[in-house]
Structure 1
């Protein structure tokens, strides 16, 4: 069974989606993060992959994290590590078997695509969904591979290219079923379906889900 984990920042103004603040303001960016978090968890639940994990930053105390985990089908845990690579590696070192790890920044992610990625781990060591900006929106591993998370220029267009070099050097077999886009920059907002951004900006920051 392939588990599924989501890494997410709390929807706190000024803490999340800071690159979108010039377009949306601090509160607008936080409301969009709240919507992205709920959307990502809904897609994860619809995939049927279990167990589900929600790795929260800066901690698990935000009311929206607590509300989303309340049905009892999500294990809520706090992120740990000094950079993105170490936080991702920490998640994989706590896995009990094959694991897919996603963030909350990829609206085009679907349950079918998650299942396709999970199937890749039946025959390969790793699976990735490269992002158009040079990073990746999903990483899946049969087992922890610490070398994939050290010495990578995180949050740059070099992430996926450097990761491919590391995969090759380690002799790992991997697949890339699709290329997706992330919602990171103001220009990415234009890719959302009409009306969705308006609805997202009305997303609650607290306990309603």
Structure 2
């Protein structure tokens, strides 16, 4: 069966989701990140898989459920870390990140269900920001990830081109929104209102509302300039 990999950072203030600060505080950003990771791991546990591995930058916490193996991330850029994660595997492997708490077993079913790898060498899940949220190989090919420029609007296209350029037959998963910005937080929380992620977002101070709080006025009624 397929190995499911999750690559993630420990949700610790100041180390994770730094693009959310501001408007969120580092503590709020870490709280949102922990909820995203928890929902992602819960979905992974509900998927059929031979192994479930969390490739972690940091230390596991109370958010880690039973049934998930943990291995440390290697050093280097994201391309090197993704490649090293696949190097842990033999046979089919599918990797997702912690930025898509809207992940469900149904979204991964085309790859993990019967016939998911029949006539298919790779699975690719594009992200709305131009990156990718899922990547899978029937047989791991770490060399097809190394050197791909990461965290750019063209990352997804470059990675997919690397796969097809190597002659692989690629199938696509649905496009998803990564949680990278405050707008992404609101968009994804609205899409999954009954999730732990949405509850965590609701529990944080609403930055938009706070930013609209008017300052005390010193303007006198009836005065003209």
Provide TM-score, normalisation by structure 2: 0.81
Aligned match of 2:28: 28
Q: 1:157 aligns with which of 153, 156, 159?
A: 153
Cα-to-partner distance string for 1:118-141 (whole Å, 9 max, x where unaligned): 243232110011001111000011
For residue 24 of structure 1, give the secondary structure of its aligned residue in structure 2: coil
Conserved? CA contact 1:134–1:158, under 8 Å: yes
Matches of 2:45 and 2:17, distance apart in 1: 23
RMSD of aligned Cα (Å): 1.9
Structure with bigger helix share is: 1
Between structure 1 and structure 2, the one with the greater Rg is 2
Matches of 1:77 and 1:134, distance apart in 2: 28
Conserved? CA contact 1:8–1:54, under 8 Å: yes
- Quote the offset at 1:148 in angstroms: 2.3
Aligned match of 2:167: 171
Alignment of 1:78-97 (within 5 A): 78-97=72-91
Conserved? CA contact 1:81–1:90, under 8 Å: no
Aligned match of 1:207: none
Matches of 1:93 and 1:136, distance apart in 2: 19
- Quote the offset at 1:195 in angstroms: 7.7
Aligned match of 1:103: 97
Alignment of 1:48-197 (within 5 A): 48-58=48-58, 61-64=59-62, 68-69=64-65, 71=66, 73-119=67-113, 120-191=116-187, 192-193=189-190
Conserved? CA contact 1:125–1:142, under 8 Å: yes
Matches of 1:62 and 1:109, distance apart in 2: 21
Cα 1:123–1:198 change in 2 (3 A) is: closer
Query: Greater relative contact order (Cα 8 A, min sep 6): structure 1 or 2?
Result: 1
Conserved? CA contact 2:122–2:169, under 8 Å: yes
Matches of 1:97 and 1:81, distance apart in 2: 24
Unaligned runs of 5+ in 2: 205-225
Matches of 1:160 and 1:117, distance apart in 2: 18
Say how many residue pairs are matched.
197
Extract structure 1 runs of 4+ deviating beyond 4 A: 194-198
Aligned match of 1:9: 9
Matches of 2:200 and 2:49, distance apart in 1: 26
Unaligned runs of 5+ in 1: 204-209
